[in-house]
Amino acid sequence: MRAFPCSLALLLSLCCFSPAGARGGHAKAGVDGGHAKAGADAWKFEQRCQLSGSFVLILSDIGVKVNIPEQNLVCVSSAPDWQYALVNTKLKIGLDIPPTKWQHDGIHLENDKQVPGPSKTVADTWRGMPALRFTRNIHGSDPLREQCEMLYQASKERSLSLKSEEMLFSNWLELKPPLQNFVQGFYRIHGCKSVMLQHINKYTNGKTNQVLTTTSASRIKVSPSDFKKPCDYRVVQNRDLVTNDAQRRKEIVGVCTDYFLDDKESKKKQK
């Protein structure tokens, strides 16, 4: 495999996406081939994030749509203006976000506040499709992550500290600027301009934690109606009311508590 000693931003800017198809114009082995009705070409990704649960992402030159059922969130945007509508379907409230503010005010599936150390990027594959595997050491974590790590730092073991993280990005698609803007704000990883397929955190004690995974990717056909803006919601100005981020931040601490303490309990039982 050939290594690419460039920065993540530069490398991922090369992963441009044209939903008209994968490079070569045909779906390859390991990726579902779509047989939908005639319409615009698109890619559909089914993914799961530790914080947000399972979600479906659809990318096309005519629009983008994300459905996160466990968070009651739907986000749509379409050409030519690429205005975003981020809606909480349970509360029937939402935000109208211009594309210039998406990266700041969007969903933010993750939050890249790490202090990165040395990194490397190598060519890889995902289910037979070209991908880029990016690994970087971490010199410092964001406050939320540090709060989670304190669960072990305050214990007798004092062994858990985030050492590095590994991310896998698609390299068979060609993203145009509006879609690059979307993935940058959605995955919230600096320099990300392609679809993140996998994200794994690695700790100094050898433990790993899979933050994000992709269960399927398929080519489908879409129409403008698939990206139609919901009409039954009330526009609010408070983003947290829509995304419920404050509650999600509490939940991730709970997830980490269960994750770490369950491991400690299992060790006690083994003794």
For 5-15, what is each residue's pLDDT tens digit?
A: 333 333 333 34
Closest C-alpha to 134, from 36, 55, 200, 208: 200
Task: State the pLDDT at residue 29.
Answer: 34
Please state, for a pLDDT cut of 70, what percent of the chain lies above it: 64
- Is the confidence at residue 164, as pLDDT, over 50? yes
Q: Give residue for tokens 């690429």.
A: 82
pLDDT of res. 138 = 77
Burial of 206 (0-12, 13-18, 19+ CB in 10 A): exposed
Rg for the chain (alpha carbons), in Å? 19
* Whole-angstrom distance, CA of residue 84 vs CA of residue 17: 20
Q: For position 270, what pLDDT does the model report?
A: 55
pLDDT band of 142, cuts 50, 70, 90: low
pLDDT number for residue 79: 96
For 209-223, write each residue's pLDDT tens digit. 898 999 999 999 999
Kindly tell me if the per-residue pLDDT of 252 is higher than 90: no
Maximal C-alpha separation, the chain: 63
pLDDT computed for residue 106 by the predictor: 78
Collect all residues with Cβ–Cβ distance below 8 Å to 134 and sequence separation of at least 6: 8, 11, 119, 120, 121, 166, 167, 168, 169
Residue 258: phi and psi, rounded to 5, are -60, -40
For residue 226, pLDDT beyond 50:
yes
Q: What is the value of pTM for the model shown?
A: 0.74
| Average pLDDT score, the chain | 77
| Nearest CA among 51, 57, 99, 109 for reference residue 77 | 99
From CA 164, how far away is CA 195, in angstroms rounded?
20
Q: Are 44 and 218 in contact (CB under 8 A)?
A: yes
Tens digit of each residue's pLDDT (9 = 90 or more) over 77-115? 999 999 999 999 999 999 999 999 998 887 766 655 555
The Cα angle at residue 218 between residues 213 and 223, in degrees rounded to 5 = 120
Among the ranges given (33-47, 53-67, 246-260), the one the predictor scored with the smallest mean pLDDT: 246-260
In the chain, the N- to C-terminal Cα span, in Å, equals 44
**Domain locations along the chain:** 3-270
pLDDT for the residue numbered 65: 98
pLDDT for residue 102? 92
Please give the pLDDT value at position 158: 42
- Answer yes or no: is pLDDT of 34 > 50: no
Q: Which of 13-27, 59-73, 197-211 has the highest mean pLDDT?
A: 59-73
Average pLDDT over residues 33-56: 82
Residue 206: which pLDDT band, with cuts at 50, 70 and 90? confident
Count of residues making up the chain: 271
* 8 Å CB contact between 87 and 167: no
**Is the pLDDT reported for residue 240 higher than 60?**
yes
What is the identity of the amino acid at 193? Answer: K
Higher-pLDDT residue of 151 and 207 is: 207
**Bigger pLDDT: 59 vs 250:** 59
* Sign of the torsion formed by the C-alpha atoms of 256, 257, 259 and 260: positive
30: tokens are 């390991």
